Chain A
């Protein structure tokens, strides 16, 4: 079975500062990795995903994540955050593609 650990439940950061949201997973097989963002009272939106190929994946709004197989990590980073990035971020892992295992989420709060 797979599991996902997001060690940081809350991350406050000042506007225009860099941020890293950590995600570690455990799995004995190859996995697909995802980051989702959730704004208040809304569903989940896919931010980025790693399926294969380059271990560094990027989103259109400046986020990036790097798949590190040896460390079983998929940390999310952004060099300069905006107020609009304030949201809940979920890391997820899937093996066969039939089921997702979500982390407990990290609440990112950008401070003006």
Chain B
């Protein structure tokens, strides 16, 4: 079946630094990928829709300059948290939609802790 690899699974960084999270579709092409943020005991909040070869579409309230999304190929999307602060600490999850057929596959998530 379809597999989405998300890396790293955990990252701890200092306040003010930037962190890059990768989301790869391993055995299928994904024109569209999605980035979610999950707070403790909360549901997933869609942050942005990543489109290969074009700009990402951000949800209302999500800072575009802080959460940079790049979808340079059909199998890779990256989320960069710039100038991270402790309030950015969260669980980030990506998902990819298969171009052929209907299906959404989620990555295993990245636990970001900003100290």
Decide whether A and B are members of one complex: yes
Chain A interface residues (CB < 8 Å from chain B) = 9, 32, 36, 41-46, 51, 90, 97-100, 102-105
Pair count A-B, CB < 8 A: 47
Q: How far is the CA of A45 from the CA of B95 in the complex (A)?
A: 11
Q: How far is the CA of A41 from the CA of B43 in the complex (A)?
A: 14
Contact among B32, B43, B46, B109 for A43, CB-based, below 8 A: B109
Contact among A51, A102, A105 for B102, CB-based, below 8 A: A51
In the bound complex, do residue A43 and residue B102 qualify as a contact, i.e. CB atoms below 8 Å apart? no
Q: How far is the CA of A75 from the CA of B109 in the complex (A)?
A: 26
Of the four ranges (under 10, 10 to 19, 20 to 34, 35 or more), the interface on chain B belongs to 20 to 34
How close is A12's CB to chain B, nearest CB, in angstroms?
Answer: 16
Can you sample 24 A-B contacts with CB below 8 Å? A36-B106, A41-B9, A41-B109, A41-B111, A43-B6, A43-B93, A43-B106, A43-B107, A44-B44, A44-B95, A45-B106, A46-B104, A46-B106, A90-B44, A97-B102, A98-B32, A98-B49, A100-B44, A100-B46, A100-B95, A100-B104, A104-B42, A104-B43, A105-B43
Measured between beta carbons, the chain A residues less than 8 angstroms from B90 are none
How close is A53's CB to chain B, nearest CB, in angstroms?
Answer: 13
Chain A minimum-CB-distance residue to B42: A104
Tell me whether chain B's interface is mostly helix, strand or loop, or mixed.
strand
Measured between beta carbons, the chain B residues less than 8 angstroms from A99 are 34, 46, 49
Contact among B34, B46, B109 for A42, CB-based, below 8 A: B109
B71 within 8 A of A: no
Chain B minimum-CB-distance residue to A51: B102
